[in-house]
Amino acid sequence: MEEIKNKQLNDLATMPNPINQESAHSQNDGHDHGQQDTETNGVLAHWDLILALLMLATELILEFGFNYKLSNPIGFTVNSIAYLLAGRSVLNLAFRKARRGDIFNEFVLMSVATLGAFYIGEYSEGVAVMVFYQIGEWFQDSAVSRAKRNIKALLDIRPDEVTVLRNGVDQIVTPSQVSLGETIQVKPGERVALDGILVSQNASFNTAALTGESKPDTKYKDEPILAGMINLNTVAQIKVSSLFKDSKLSKILEMVQDATARKSQTQLFISRFAKVYTPIVFFLALALVALPYFFVEGYVFRDWLYRGLVFLVISCPCALVVSIPLGYFGGIGLASRNGILFKGGNFLDVMTKVNAVVMDKTGTLTKGVFKVQQVVAQSISEQELVRITAALEKNSTHPVGKAVVEYAGEDLGTLTASEVEEIAGHGLKGKVDGKQVLAGNLKLLKKFDISYPPEIEQIVYTIVVIAIDNRYAGYITIADEIKEDAAATIKAMHDLNIKTIMLSGDKQSVVDAVAKQIGIDAAYGDLLPEGKVEKVQSLKDQGLQIAFAGDGVNDAPVVALADVGIAMGGLGSDATIETADVVIQNDQPSKIVSAIKVGKITRNIVWQNIILAMAVKIIVLALGAGGVANLWEAVIADVGVALLAILNAVRIQKISL
C-alpha cells in the first residue's frame, strides 16, 4: 500500500492526489485510511499482498490438507518472505512513528503483535494477522474511495466546454473564458455551464442535479437559469449573469467539499476516545503478559505472551475510526442527492436534536411569486401611482417590488428613481420625477408621521402603501401563493413532535391567515429583522433547539443565531445561503423534514457501528485474555467487524427518503 492512508476522509476536492502521510498520520488519531488514487486501489497495485496470501494459503493447505508441515528453517524463511510482502509498509510506518515518540498507534500495535507471534514460533499466525489486516485496510480504502467517487460524480457536473455567441459566430470555449453579459447557447441534452437569464421565449430543463427533483421545469424569457440544469427540448440562449467561479453550482460544490472538514461531535468524541483507548489497551496487553507471573502457578511466558498478542490484535480501533467519518460522509451524500446541502457533519448531529422549526413566510412557506390584486389611488390616477411606485421598486430585489414592476410593464417607460434608500423592515425611500416617494408597509408611513385612512389596516393581503411628498397617495394590494407542500410539511413536523413557528415582516392579519391555512402552531407578524432575532432568542431561552428556515437578506442574522440555520437556496439571497448551515436547493419546505430524517438516519447507523464494534471487541478481548480466542479468531473478528461497519455506513447512500 502507498504510504497507507489519508489526510482524513474529508478532502473530497483532493481525492485523486497522493497524500503526504507524515502530516496525515499526525492529525488522524493514529488511524489513517487511504484516499489513494483510484488506480492504486486496483489488484495489480496489491500484487505483494496477493502473493503473500497465496503463500499463506499454500502452507495451510499443505499442513491441514496433506498433513505436511514445513520444517523450521524453511517454514521460517517462507513465512518471513510472506510477512515482509504483506507488512513492510506497516513496519515502515511503525518504525517512523516510534522514532518520533508516537508508539500508541495501530501500526506499532500490529507490528508488535505479529513480530511477537514469530518470536514464539507461530509463523503462519503472524503472517495471517498481517495479511488479513492489510486486506481489511484494502477493502476499507476501496469503500471510502468508492463513496467519494459516487458523491463527486453526483455533484461535479460542470461541463468542460460551452458554446458562446460572439459577433454572430458560435465559439466553443471553456466556461471560465465566458464574460458577464455574453450569450451562451445550450442544445437539447446539454448541461448549462453558467448561471444566466433565459433569452429564448421558453425552454424546459431537468433540474435534478440541483434540486433532487427530476420532473421537467419550464422556464420563460427573463427567468433565471442555473448551471447544472439540463436542457430538454429546444435550443436555448442564455445571457450569462455570473462568472464560472461564482455560479450557484460552483458554490454548491464548494459547500459539499468543505462540509466534510467540519467534524460532528460524535466524530470528535471518537477521535478523543481513540487517543486514550489505544495506549490503555497497549498497557493492558503488557499487564496481561507480566502480572500473571506474580499470581499464577506454573506461569508459562509463551502462553501469556500469546494471550497478550491476541489482546493487541483485537484492540485495533479500525472499525470505529473509519466507519464513523464514512457514515457522516454518506449522510452528506444522501442529503446532496435529495437537494439538501449540509455544510458539515456536525449539523447532521444538531438536526437530530431540533424540537422547534421557525420559518419565514415569504419564499419559505409561500412561493414568493406575488401578483398585484388591486390598486387604490388618492389625488392621483391609478396608472400614475403604479408608474411612480414601480420606478422606485425597480431598485428592490424583494418579490413584492418585482410584482409591482411586472404589473407596470411598458407603462413604466423610462421613468427612474434616484437617491433610493432601503429602510430595513419598512420599505423604500427615493426621488421619482422630482418628487419624494415612500413605498412600503404601514410602519414606513408611521415612521415618517404620514397619516393614512385607518380602514386600510384591516386589509388582509400584503399591501404596499405609497406616499408622495409626505402625503398619502394610495396603496397596492398583492397576494402570494402558499407552496403546495407547506401544509404537509407542518403535519410531518407535528408527527415528529416538532413545534412549528412562523415569523414575518408582513402584518399580523396576513400571517394569521397563512398560519391557519397550513396549521402552524404559532405565528408572529409585523417583525423587523431585529424583531425576528429577539423572537428566536426568546425561544432559545426557553430551552428549545431551534432550526430557522428563511430566504431573504434580512433573514441572515436570525439564520446565524439559530442552532441550525436553513436557507431556501433557489430563491434565497447569497447572504442567507452563505450564513446558513443547511441549504435547501429547490425551496420546498418539505425538504426541511427530509433534512431531519437524514440526520436521524446517519445518527442511527453511526451508533449501530459504535455498539457493534465495541461489543465484539469487548467479547473477543475477554476471550483472548482468558486464553479461549487465538490469533486467527482475533484477526477475523477485527477485520470482520470493520468490514461490517463499513458496509453499514455505505448503506446510507442507498437509502430512499
Q: What is the pLDDT of residues 326-355, one digit of tens each?
A: 788 788 878 888 888 888 778 888 899 999
Within 344-408, strands assigned E span 356-360, 371-377
Checking DSSP bridges between strand 435-440 and strand 340-342, what pairing results, if any? unpaired
* Nearest-10 Cα torsion for 291, 296, 298, 302: -30
Chain segment 109-140, per-residue pLDDT in tens: 778 888 888 888 888 888 887 887 787 778 76
Residue 40: per-residue pLDDT:
43
The answer to whether 602 and 653 are in contact (CB under 8 A) is no
Residue of 320, 313, 316 lying closest to 271 (CA atoms): 320
Phi/psi at 626 (5° precision): -85, 0
**Of 28-37, 61-70, 463-472, minimum mean pLDDT range:** 28-37
Residue of 438, 425, 422 lying closest to 389 (CA atoms): 438
More confident residue, 154 or 479: 479
Please list the active-site residues: 360
Is the pLDDT at 480 greater than 80? The verdict is: no
Is the pLDDT at 156 greater than 90? The verdict is: no
More confident residue, 374 or 5: 374
pTM score? 0.63
Q: Which long-range contacts (CB under 8 A, 24 or more apart) does 295-300 make?
A: none
Chain segment 400-457, per-residue pLDDT in tens: 888 898 888 888 878 888 999 988 878 899 999 889 999 999 989 999 999 999 888 8
- In the chain, pLDDT over 70 holds for what percent of residues? 83
Residue 618: per-residue pLDDT:
84
